Amino acid sequence: MSKPVIEAKGLTKRYGKVTAVADVDFTVDAGEVVGLLGPNGAGKTTTILMLLGLTEPSAGSVRILGKDPLRQPLEIKKVVGYLPDALGFYDSMTARENLAYSARLSGLPLGMSAERIETALRQVRLLDAADRRVATYSRGMRQRLGIAELLMRDCRIAILDEPTSGLDPQSTQELLELIQDLSRGGMTILLSSHMLDVVQSVCHRIALFNRGQIGFLGTVEELANRLGSGTVVIDVEAESIDLQTLAGSLAGVTKVFSSAPAHWQVEAKYDVRPELARVVVQAGGELRNLDLRRARLDEAYNRYFKEVANAA
Amino acid sequence: MQREGSPFRGVGTVALKEAADHMTSARMHLIMLLVLLTAIGAVYGAIGRIRDTTAADPYLFLKLFTVAQEPLPSFAAFLGFLLPLVAIALGFDAVNGEYSRRTMSRLLAQPIYRDAVLFGKFAGGLLVIAIALLTLWLLMIGLGILFLGLPPSLDEIVRALIWLAATLAYAGVWLALAIALSAVIRSPATSALAALSVWLILAMFWSMITPLAAGLVAPINPLDPASVLHRFEWQQGIGRLSPQTLYGEISGILLDPAARSVGPLFMWQMQGAVLGAPLPTLQSVTIVWPQICGLIAALLVLFTVAYVSFQRQEVRA
């Protein structure tokens, strides 16, 4: 196996007494798309800043392509493109001017940059708006402009902070397609988000962040197996009974709540439909529907964070 | 821990971008309009007076910068007063403006060091001031030739050029102050106010404060004549804490070849001197050399404050 592109060991960041990131280890291999997921304030952005050497870790080390971001930041920043949460393009300049400025800062030869900017803007379909000031851009267009910058600079690694936040579903889809294009082009991508269902389609692996620690690192399937197994949700529709009191005492049932009049959702450790049917009928109720479904991934994800919060 | 790569990578790019921003910004246009109008007014007044009073002065041209006609002050005094305003307008949001526009993290994620951002901001601002000053200076010379009808001598040009360089250093002090405040204070509005307060105190009230402060430190003893001198020296020393005082002294000596001292002069020191005879240019420069060094030192100290504070800042705000 090839050497990992990004390698973080024991990464820790303390702000005074508050620990923002605690002892985080992970590696990203070449060509992978890894999603950093977690609620706001879980330490995702701090981790990203430490990877880039923009913030000094309190402890631990980072290697990007075998280089240290604290000692060789220029070398790393040349091959790593970073799109911050706020994008950070200058509102008073046009898209083309913004890109030309980053091209000059990243040391692209002057003759080459105009052509590359043109190509990159065409790829993200911003060529028509290229000479408009960025102040007039929507959030989706700014994100695409950010992607154009990565293309123009021909980065090997891209780090995207909350690329989909604040986007409408269509823009989100467009952006994800662009990210997939980048990944197909061989770029290693690290992206952070607080919405699992949005990014699960593009990520090869995900890392769940919580309170500055990685609670889980693996593929989406592994996460589904770990969180989803042993949890089933059963929709029950029945009349003239109160399922809350009837089913609450059944073995295997963890939770019962009413979703609508005469509708209940039962969460159980395994399939308890025969038992449910029996208690409903025995109580003289009219059973209309009994439907088993597996927990959806985003529900599982939400549940994961609830569990972690309760445990703490 | 040694970091690799040059801290100056990207300085030129940042400086040119900043300069271009300033050149096209409305605030720069407004303030330059103000400076231009007052400067033309000052020189117009000076020309009127020179025509009326001076018959034959070997350094007629330099009088353009220093002669004042009531109620307008002289051109040199104008610059001493307004140049800080120009510098503050260019620098008050240099660092915190990037945070408030949320462009800082992307800028720092480019393959440059933070040093380049700060150096570039300072160099860009100074470049714009230098262009504006040179334009003004040439304008003054041109108006002088036009209205007085005679060309400046080589000596006058040399003196005026040295004075121009000293003026740039003076503007640099205020630019460094504005940038330092923008690095220390997070809100651009607050840092602008802070810089303007410092400017008001040093430019307007300092001359009122110094006699009071000197009186407290070195009271005059009516029986001891030396105490008068003692107090005067204290007053001068405190006054020189303000860059405006230093700049005023530099202007006074460089633009007036007959001036021999910025401090008290005793009769025995004047023995053998021909009163009113001009000093060689180099001698005039020697007299104000400490003042020029003082300005450059103040610039370096303020820039260091900005540098240290900016290097230690967290990127996320």
Q: Out of B17, B102, B111, whose CB is closest to A106?
A: B111
Taking only Cα atoms into account, the Rg of chain B, rounded to an integer number of angstroms, comes to 22
Q: Within an 8 Å CB–CB cutoff, is residue A61 touching chain B?
A: no
Residue B188: predicted pLDDT: 95
Nearest residue of chain B to residue A150 (CA atoms): B110
Handedness of CA B286, B287, B291, B297 (dihedral sign): positive
Q: Which residues, other chains included, contact B138 with Cβ-Cβ below 8 Å and sequence gap of 6+?
A: none
Residue A39: predicted pLDDT: 85
Q: Does B117 map to a domain?
A: yes
What are B173-196's pLDDT values in tens digits?
A: 999 999 999 999 999 999 999 999
Residue A106 is which amino acid? Answer: S
Q: Within an 8 Å CB–CB cutoff, is residue A10 touching chain B?
A: no
Q: Do A106 and B104 touch (CB under 8 A)?
A: no
Does residue B38 register a pLDDT over 90? no
| Count of structural domains, chain B | 1
> Above pLDDT 70, what percent of chain B?
98
Residue B260: predicted pLDDT: 82
Identify the band that residue B14 occupies on the pLDDT scale cut at 50, 70 and 90. very high
Distance from the B168 Cα atom to the nearest Cα atom in chain A, whole angstroms = 28
Q: Do B21 and A55 touch (CB under 8 A)?
A: no
Handedness of CA A144, A150, A154, A156 (dihedral sign): negative
Q: Do B3 and A55 touch (CB under 8 A)?
A: no
Residues of A within 8 A of B112 (CB-CB) are: 74, 77, 105
Residue A230: predicted pLDDT: 57
pLDDT tens per residue across all 312 residues of chain A: 467 899 999 999 998 899 999 999 999 999 999 999 888 888 899 999 999 989 999 999 999 999 999 999 999 999 999 999 888 899 999 999 999 999 999 988 888 899 999 999 999 999 999 999 999 999 999 999 999 999 999 999 999 999 988 889 899 999 999 999 999 999 999 999 888 777 778 899 989 888 888 888 888 778 777 765 556 778 888 887 887 777 777 777 877 878 788 888 887 777 788 888 888 888 888 888 888 776 556 666 776 777 776 765
Q: Do A82 and B106 touch (CB under 8 A)?
A: yes
B140, with CB counted inside 10 A (0-12, 13-18, 19+), is buried
Please give the structure tokens belonging to residue B196: 């303007």
Distance from the A85 Cα atom to the nearest Cα atom in chain B, whole angstroms = 9
- Quick check: do A6-224 and A232-294 share a fold? no
pTM for the complete prediction?
0.86
Of residues B274 and B102, more confidently modeled: B102
Q: Within an 8 Å CB–CB cutoff, is residue A56 touching chain B?
A: no
What are B284-304's pLDDT values in tens digits?
A: 999 999 999 999 999 999 999
Residue ranges per structural domain of chain A: 6-224, 232-294
Identify the band that residue B60 occupies on the pLDDT scale cut at 50, 70 and 90. confident
Q: Which of B11, B25, B108 to mutate to test the interface with A (most CBs of A within 10 A)?
A: B108
Residues 72-91 of A with CB under 8 A from B: 72-75, 77-78, 80-84, 86-91
Burial per residue of A218-251, b for 16 or more beta-carbon CB atoms within 10 angstroms, e otherwise:
eebeebbeebbeebbbbebbbeebebeebbeeee
Q: Give ipTM to 2 decimals.
A: 0.86
Q: Out of A87, A92, A106, whose CB is closest to B110?
A: A106
Q: Do A49 and B3 touch (CB under 8 A)?
A: no
Structural fold of domain A6-224: Rossmann fold (3.40.50)
Quote the CA–CA distance of B142 and B147 in Å, as a whole number. Answer: 9
Residues 97-136 of A with CB under 8 A from B: 101-102, 104-107
Residue B58: predicted pLDDT: 74
Distance from the A26 Cα atom to the nearest Cα atom in chain B, whole angstroms = 22
Please give the structure tokens belonging to residue B67: 């002669």
Which of A131, A126, A146, A133 lies closest to A93, judged by CA? A133
Quote the CA–CA distance of A206 and B79 in Å, as a whole number. Answer: 61
Q: Does B316 map to a domain?
A: no
Q: Out of A55, A72, A77, whose CB is closest to B315?
A: A55
Q: Is A61 helix (H, G, I), strand (E, B) or coil?
A: strand
Q: Do A73 and B113 touch (CB under 8 A)?
A: yes
Residue A105: predicted pLDDT: 93
Q: Within an 8 Å CB–CB cutoff, is residue A252 touching chain B?
A: no
Q: Within an 8 Å CB–CB cutoff, is residue A262 touching chain B?
A: no
Residues of A within 8 A of B13 (CB-CB) are: 101, 104-105
Q: Out of B110, B314, B316, whose CB is closest to A105?
A: B110
> For residues A293, A294, A297 and A300, what is the CA-based torsion angle, rounded to 10 degrees?
110
Q: Does B115 map to a domain?
A: yes
Residues of B within 8 A of A49 (CB-CB) are: 105, 315-316
Residue A295: predicted pLDDT: 58
Q: Is B269 helix (H, G, I), strand (E, B) or coil?
A: helix
Q: Residues B36-51: what's their mean pLDDT?
A: 84
Q: Does B104 map to a domain?
A: yes
Q: Do A90 and B103 touch (CB under 8 A)?
A: yes
Domain span holding position B53: 11-311
Q: Does B6 map to a domain?
A: no
Structural fold of domain A232-294: Alpha-Beta Plaits (3.30.70)
What are B197-215's pLDDT values in tens digits?
A: 999 999 889 989 999 999 8
Lowest mean pLDDT among A130-134, A197-201, B17-21, B308-312: A197-201
Residues of A within 8 A of B108 (CB-CB) are: 54
Quote the CA–CA distance of B261 and B263 in Å, as a whole number. Answer: 5
Q: Does B2 map to a domain?
A: no
Residues of A within 8 A of B105 (CB-CB) are: 49, 54, 82, 84, 86, 88
Q: Within an 8 Å CB–CB cutoff, is residue A256 touching chain B?
A: no
Q: Within an 8 Å CB–CB cutoff, is residue A206 touching chain B?
A: no
